[in-house]
Each structure stands twice: as structure tokens, then as C-alpha cells.
Structure 1
Amino acid sequence: MEYSVQLKGFIKSVGADLVGFTDVESLQGIYTEPKNLLDSFTHVISAGVEVPKSVFDTIHDKPTPIYNVVYQTINRILDEIGYKTSRHLQNKGYSGLPIPASQIVDREKWYGAISHKAVARMAGLGWQGKNLLLITPKFGSRIRLVTILTNAPLKIDLPMKNRCGACTKCKDACPVGAIKGVVTEDRYKNRNEALHFDKCVSKLTVEFAELPNIDSPICGICIKACPYSK
């Protein structure tokens, strides 16, 4: 337990705003690439960095170049946190494998090596919202995430109860009606239970990513709409 406290302190000292731990058992059945990604590890670390509120003041009906630059900057910070944490673990005699913050390994299904949101939910950072994003009590959906796999003996954190309730603000704000507004106590069985996923992907990759000075499949509209984000 003492090392868990020390490790959280270290991760926050290198830039994280939120840190949580879970074990590999809690993630059984989750999609990973490769399939045996978790086999050599016992625990999983989730770290998050806040996206500043004012960035979303620039967003109205589409992402902005300012949001794009901040988004990319935070991804670099997260990758640095993952790298420094893995080195720290290694120096303590443990394994540490950082999973890049924003790397797509399957562009047909739009999957990364592991779902940072699923890890963060099990590590107690927040719950899965109707917009399918992680929602945290402190920052709402204004959070970017990175994952580190390890064999360090960590004290796990507990998942958080869903607090979305009857709120439909993200659904109402979505420019393509991709959010169905379905609530879940735990997690969605698949993405299409919560979203018309193809509508979301099409808007981000075909339209928004082609905007001047964007070049990324980003949006930000449902993040801004979430009451917890404010």
C-alpha cells in the first residue's frame, strides 16, 4: 500500500492530474492488440491530464485549431508521463509498459492497443457517459488518458457509480445525432449500444479532420456540453 501511495505521488509529480490502479483480472475480455498484451502483467495504471475549460469556449459547432493543438500537446504530455512512469517502475525492479495515449492500431474498427477509457473506469477515475467517454467528477469529459501495464503490487481503486442520470445534454448537442442517450449503470456491451458509431466516425474523419489546421479526427462538442465539464 505504501508503494501505491508513493507511485501515485510520482505520477502526479510528472504531470498527471488523476491517477488510478486496477488489476488485470478486472479487464478480462477487453479487446487488446495483440490479444496477449496483458499476459505478462498483474496491474494496470491509468493516468489523466485535464484539458483546460477555456479551450472549449472556442468550440461552437466544430473543432478549432486551438483545440487541435492543445489536444496534440496533451497527448505528448501523456506519452511522456507513460514513459517516465515506466522508467520509474523499472528502476524499482518492476516491469512497466506504456501504451501510447492516442494511437489507433485498427483503423477499420477504430481500436487502440487497449481502451484507455475502460482502464480508467475500472481504476476509479470516472464512469462511462452516454457519449461513451469517461466522465470524471472533477473535470467531466475534459480529460485525456494514458495507460501503463506493470507487475508492481499495487492497491487497486474501485469503479465509480454512474452519475449521468436523466441528463441528455451531450445527446442534444451532438451535430449528427450520434448519441442515443441510453444510460448504463456499469458499461455498454458495445459502442453501438450507446452511439450510432458510424455517424460519429464519419463526422470526425470525413468532415472535421479535413478542416483547415485540424488534420485530426476530433470534435469536442459533447465534451463541452457535459455539465460535469463545466
Structure 2
Amino acid sequence: MEYTEKLKEYLKKEGADLVGVTDVHSLSELKTIPDNLLSPFTHAVSIAMRIPRAVFDFIIDQPTPLYSSMYQNVNRLLDEVAYKGAKKLQSDGYLSLPIPASQIIDHEEWHGAISHKAVARIAGLGWQGKNLLLITPEYGSKVRLVTILTNAPLSVDSPIANRCGKCRKCTEACPAGAIKDRSTKDYYKSRDEALDFSKCVLKLTGEFQHLPNVSGLICGVCIKVCPWGSKLR
């Protein structure tokens, strides 16, 4: 079995639901912190872990304590999977770096070390939806993501086409009225093409973050209403 497939199989045994690979040249336009984050590496491994669908059944127009807890737990599990994957890559003789699943470094622009969503899209796990989130064919946006950077000689996966079409469910459901209902063939060049990002941030930081027993910058409404991932799998 080729090394890439062995690595994917290992990560899935450790809890990953989806795994994709891309090379760092395809990520050259992405903002990274620090700027030279990608320089020691040749490839990026994107890992997705699904969130149980029933968690979203209780979301109406705001995040719930149950979703908040699940969100944090899945991020923790993703970090563990990425850590184990990086250790395996290192033990196999390759440089590797797991990037935390949900870490904001730039609190003015709301950026982490690298966009897990962008890496996942380029690695073929899904497409960028009108809500700016990654949408996977299998689970919709009911997933969390993490990335491993490595110099292992891996085989890359290809991006998949956008499948949102004329669907407006996320636009209509957004409690902040932030989604502009604009499609993209591949990806948005800036957040403002798809969202009034300031409206989204204000809703999260000014209201949802202060709800009882809700931690983090979360919402979940557009994830719930997306028809992709609505079937049990």
C-alpha cells in the first residue's frame, strides 16, 4: 500500500472521518502566521471529524450549551488525531507540524496560523459554501477541521466542484443577516464577497458569546439548515 494511503488509514483508525492531501505550492496565496509557516514543508494533510447530526436539531436561532460542549470536544479530539499523525510522520522520518484545530492568533482579523477550511477545500474534502464554511458531500458543514504540515512525499487530492447551486437556506436562516447569497466557482477572494463579516462577528462576540454555558465564537444556524449532511451516515 502506498504511504499516503497508509497514513490516511492510520488517521481514520485514530478517529478522522475524512482525510485529504495537497501540496504547499497550492497554499501559497493563503495568509499564514508566521509568514514563513509553510517554508519547511512540502505537503499539508487536512483532517475532518464530523459532529453528530442530532446536536444541530436543538439549534433554532442561536447556539446551545450542548453544541458548545460538542464543538470544544471535537476540536480536542482533532488536536489529538493531528498530534498522533504528526508523531507517526516524524517516526517515519518526516518533518511534521500539527496546527491546532481552533486557535485564533490575530484577534483583529480573526485568523489562525492557517485557514483549515481553505486547506481542506484545496485538498478535496469539500467546497466553500455561501456561508464561507467548508461543505463536504458526506456531512455538509457538520465537521471540524485540523491540518498537519509535513515534508513527507505524499500523493495529492483534487478539489471538487461547488454544489451549492441556487440554494438559499443559509442566507435566509442567518440570524445576523450576514450571508450575501453569492456563489463562487472555486473560492472567494475575500470574506466580504460572501459575508458582511462585521455583522457575523458582532453577533458572535456581542450576543452569542455571552449566552449561558456557551463558550467560543460559535453559531451553528447555517450549518443546521444546509441540506448537505442532512442524511444519517
TM normalised by structure 1 equals 0.99
Q: After the TM superposition, which parts of structure 1 deviate over 4 Å for at least 4 consecutive aligned residues?
A: none
Q: What's 1:60 paired with?
A: 60
Q: What's 2:11 paired with?
A: 11
Task: Answer yes or no: is 1:42 the counterpart of 2:42.
Answer: yes
Root-mean-square deviation over aligned CA pairs? 0.7
Q: What's 2:225 paired with?
A: 225
Report if aligned partners of 1:46, 1:148 keep a CA contact under 8 Å in 2: yes
1:89 shift after superposition: 0.2
Helix, strand or coil for the counterpart of 2:44?
A: strand
C-alpha separation in 1, matches of 2:166 and 2:125: 21
1:189 shift after superposition: 0.5
Q: What's 2:29 paired with?
A: 29
Helix, strand or coil for the counterpart of 2:188?
A: coil
C-alpha separation in 2, matches of 1:155 and 1:190: 29
Q: What's 1:193 paired with?
A: 193
Q: What's 2:183 paired with?
A: 183
| One-letter identity of the residue aligned with 1:69 | S
Helix, strand or coil for the counterpart of 2:228?
A: helix
Q: What's 2:147 paired with?
A: 147
C-alpha separation in 2, matches of 1:157 and 1:42: 14
Deviations 1:58-116 (A, max 9, x none): 10011000000000000000000110000000000001100000000000000000000
Aligned ranges 1:68-147 → 2 under 5 Å: 68-147=68-147
C-alpha separation in 2, matches of 1:182 and 1:12: 34
| One-letter identity of the residue aligned with 1:173 | A
C-alpha separation in 1, matches of 2:217 and 2:105: 15
Q: Give identity over the alignment, percent.
A: 62
Aligned residues: 230
C-alpha separation in 2, matches of 1:30 and 1:62: 30
Deviations 1:190-211 (A, max 9, x none): 0010000000011011100100
Deviations 1:130-169 (A, max 9, x none): 0000000000000100000000000000001000011110
C-alpha separation in 1, matches of 2:71 and 2:137: 20
C-alpha separation in 2, matches of 1:94 and 1:80: 19
| One-letter identity of the residue aligned with 2:61 | D
1:229 shift after superposition: 2.7
TM normalised by structure 2 equals 0.98
C-alpha separation in 1, matches of 2:100 and 2:67: 20
1:216 shift after superposition: 1.4
C-alpha separation in 2, matches of 1:142 and 1:198: 23
| One-letter identity of the residue aligned with 1:181 | D
Q: What's 1:166 paired with?
A: 166
C-alpha separation in 2, matches of 1:144 and 1:30: 19
Helix, strand or coil for the counterpart of 2:69?
A: helix
